[in-house]
Amino acid sequence: DTGVSQDPRHKITKRGQNVTFRCDPISEHNRLYWYRQTLGQGPEFLTYFQNEAQLEKSRLLSDRFSAERPKGSFSTLEIQRTEQGDSAMYLCASSLFRGPVGELFFGEGSRLTVL
């Protein structure tokens, strides 16, 4: 399968614990995006990378969140000291920079439940 893959698909954790999500994009894509989706809302932009450079971070991304893409391939999103408000689906997407129709290709998401 050559699509975007995310791991784990579901994570249940207790408040205050740290969690890390991994995303493997489509191999030839140089852009990688993280979004968050809560019930009844559309995906909200968190951050994106072009190759290994993190080019933009949303105001939604508090200092408890950190994302990396060390070699311009896979990416990790870490949430430290989780809070119940962090419960959401975390979506990763990849694309070619300025692809012809602008589409992002999404993974199936990692659902976080903070108890």
Partner 1 sequence: DQQVKQNSPSLSVQEGRISILNCDYTNSMFDYFLWYKKYPAEGPTFLISISSIKDKNEDGRFTVFLNKSAKHLSLHIVPSQPGDSAVYFCAARGNTGKLIFGQGTTLQVKP
Binding interface with partner 1 (CB under 8 A)? 4, 31, 33, 35, 40-45, 48, 55-56, 91, 93, 95, 97-98, 101-109
Q: Which is nearer to partner 1, 36 or 86 (by Cβ)?
A: 36
Question: Whats the size of the chain, residue-wise?
Answer: 115
Q: Is 85 helix (H, G, I), strand (E, B) or coil?
A: helix
CB of 52 to partner 1, least distance (A): 16
Q: Is 84 helix (H, G, I), strand (E, B) or coil?
A: helix
CB of 90 to partner 1, least distance (A): 11
| Helix then strand then coil, % of the chain, to nearest 5 | 5, 50, 50
CB of 8 to partner 1, least distance (A): 14
Q: Which is nearer to partner 1, 31 or 114 (by Cβ)?
A: 31
Q: Which is nearer to partner 1, 58 or 80 (by Cβ)?
A: 58
